[in-house]
Structure 1
């Protein structure tokens, strides 16, 4: 049985409280895609890290190029599923994928942890729990910070279904002693409770719609495939040693595999997670079928062709066998579950560990991360201590909700990395800039 179509409630626009109609040129969900695309927050992702700093030399992915590829892959998976099951809607999945990282601050996860730690320290004085989380910032941007074309209304006026699909962790932060996992990851700020209640339309559970599930898998696959591609090109991830052609492995492969699996095993032990080394070896062998690499990247045209071919094969490997379980005639949003073979998910998780082992945990990047966290933390403290430093839009926001720390965090989180470094130099006195500078300065 094919699931029911999307309801009028799904197509209702936030804050406008009206259903967005298909005008013959764009459907309601295509409106969502376009509004995200034209937002200033979407453009700012070009200046924010995926793994390394956005200004780093080389053709690394930024948050923008990563999000574009997540959106492309999510839409293609949705198109395949729609042909078989009548949903999910491809434009809706594309919009959720485009929005999924829009809440990321400068310097990626380093910036996120710095904002959270600093907010936690400043909030502790009053015993408040609310802090910074990139996923919660996404909802905050889409429903409050961003601007569209209707005066008197805040946010992008996205459909209920789009906002629901873009909310990865549909709950507020919990105290650490109550739920450690929900203390670390959450998707709703206290200031956005009313908007979130509207998005959920009375639902009291924590289930995410199928569009979010497709978005989440597209995000994982894109991260695993394209980030590994980036750092193979720059010589940081030794794919040729880990995944040599059949019969070409030797001592280097054994040593590199042992080193990598030792790293993963120790990391999961610290996290209290199980690690089956024999199963990991089998997963690496499964990945090698799509990722056979004869040698290091040398920059030749043939090397680029080979990299692109391997990446395409790997993405196909992770997305070919996806399916839906549809529970009865309910609307597809909350009546279906994305099914990905367990070994595919485990292999994707293992592939993502390559980036952590060979790039993120490198001493050179660790020193960079220290500097990034300091820049973000000091900007937040200085702006919180002196609200007069806020730009006009954040000062207006402060008048609306009266939370100076939230307004300061929204300001810092909105900056690109170049803007953050420039503003830090200006406020610290190491690079004063010009009195004619305007806007975010």
Structure 2
């Protein structure tokens, strides 16, 4: 479907940017946003940031960059079928993890603990902070000055406290381009493109974490067959291709099982969302924001994906080997935070801090922007310890 539906994010009705700019002669505002993300420093760093396995643990495991590319592919494919704006979906998908720390969720948890008395740390909020403040590329403003619709989608979660703070920080900007956190106070919804990215993200990490988990040897196909959702597609793959049961074909069996599962998840979202749209019949993105969530799994698929996520949590994310790695990664982050707080000059930054912020937030920004391997090098330099052999 090439034509955008009236409930999509339309370039001509965009709420615009916080700092007005002249229109680009050959690109829509949303295409311009996507290009700014791709050329940003934070985006390049994602190639060396952990998804589940730390970068040095293997060259073929997903990173935050490859994960973001997979989310973008899934999101664009579904957006095309639903008549949504692919450029907005791609922008959100490529930017949604820009605020992630080194070492994945372990790094985030450790940094949140360090910042507990200073406002905490949350990677969705940090992703918005990256595109609003921390990217230093333009002479007229800090950040990338993205459109409201892109910023709205990047801010996937937000506490009421942080939402109030964001609202207050935007009072000096044009009213149309402000209010990116308003929905967290009023109970509204983001655009359909943002809702779609949330599910594309979930589909991507559920599927590729199975792949990486089996590749690592921490998960076995025999274990995965105990999960009803995965087992259904694994047995379907054998029914269609009996040769996959042979040991030399095990890797192809895994890939085909994941492919079938991923495809069915996508089709489930499309069918369920199309039914929701037919029932609600929103006439514009404004009406989308004022109604219930519309981009959804069916109840059956939602229940099965939750069961899959619980399995991955218990058997992969909390595997003894992963936990050992994550505990050491947390120690790296805590040590870095303490070292920089004690001697701020050790933060060898190539730009001025963004805005009038505390030293603790400066340290948090600095650590959050690190890649895995840079964090390890800095940790060794500042502490003389080697917690990982890279």
Q: Distance in 2 between matches of 1:392 and 1:53?
A: 24
1:341/1:402 CA distance change after superposition, 3 Å: closer
Unaligned runs of 5+ residues in structure 1 are 83-87, 174-185, 244-256, 258-283, 432-441
Q: After TM superposition, list the pairs within 5 Å mapping 1:146-225 onto structure 2.
A: 146-148=135-137, 150-173=138-161, 190=165, 193-195=168-170, 198-200=177-179, 205-206=186-187, 207-225=189-207
Match of 1:318 in 2: 265
Q: 1:383 aligns with which of 340, 352, 355?
A: 340
Aligned to 1:289: 232
SS at match of 2:60: coil
SS at match of 1:373: helix
- What corresponds to 1:105 in structure 2? 101
| Relative contact order higher in (CA < 8 Å, ≥ 6 apart) | 2
Aligned with 1:392: secondary structure? coil
Q: Is the 8 A contact 2:218 2:319 kept in 1?
A: no
Q: Distance in 2 between matches of 1:189 and 1:138?
A: 17
Q: Superposition RMSD on alpha carbons, in Å?
A: 2.9
Q: What is the CA–CA distance in structure 1 between the aligned matches of 2:319 and 2:383, rounded to whole Å?
A: 29
Q: CA deviation at 1:331?
A: 2.4
Greater Cα radius of gyration, structure 1 or 2: 1
- Residues 391-410 of structure 1 show CA distances to partners (whole Å, capped at 9, x for unaligned) of 2346x216x31411100110
Cα distance change on mapping 1:193 and 1:379 into 2, 3 Å:
farther
Please name the residue that 2:359 is paired with. Answer: 404
Instruction: List per-residue Cα deviations over 1:345-368 (Å, max 9, x = no partner).
Output: 221222223322222212222221
Separation in 2, partners of 1:297, 1:352 = 26
Q: Which moved more, 1:329-338 or 1:69-78?
A: 329-338
**Alignment equivalent of 2:17, drawn from 6, 10, 13:** 13
Structure 1 length normalisation: TM-score? 0.74
Q: Relative to structure 1, is the Cα distance of residues 58 and 353 closer, same or farther in structure 2, using a 3 angstrom cutoff?
A: farther
* CA–CA distance in structure 1, aligned partners of residues 28 and 150 of structure 2: 13
CA contact (8 A) 1:164 1:199 kept: no
C-alpha distance after superposition, 1:22-59 (max 9, x if no partner): x33x2221111111111110111111110111111251
Q: Kindly indicate which of the two structures has a greater share of residues assigned to helix.
A: 2
Q: Provide the rounded CA distance (Å) in 2 between the counterparts of 1:162 and 1:31.
A: 11
Instruction: Give the SS at the match of 2:120.
Output: coil
- Give, in whole Å, the separation in 2 of the partners of 1:192 and 1:146: 21
After superposition, what is the alpha-carbon deviation per residue over 1:308-355, rounded to whole angstroms, capped at 9, x for unaligned? Answer: 322221111111032243443232652672132011122122222332
SS of equivalent residue, structure 1 residue 320? helix
Q: Given the alignment, which residue of 373, 394, 397 partners 2:330?
A: 373
Alignment of 1:42-121 (within 5 A): 42-82=43-83, 88-120=84-116
Cα–Cα, structure 1 residues 296 and 45, in superposed 2: closer, same or farther, change >3 Å?
A: farther
Distance 1:411-1:342 versus aligned 2 partners, 3 A rule: same
Encode CA deviations 1:285-313: one digit per residue, 9 max, x unaligned. Answer: 3542213377999994x444333322221
Aligned length: 360
Q: Which residue of 2 aligns with 1:309?
A: 256
| Residue pair 1:32, 1:159 contacting (<8 A) in 2 also | yes
* Alignment partner, residue 41 of structure 2: 40
Aligned mates of 1:235, 1:92 — CA distance in 2: 37
Aligned residues of 1:54 and 1:417 also touching (Cα < 8 A)? yes
Matches within 5 A, 1:415-426: 415-426=370-381
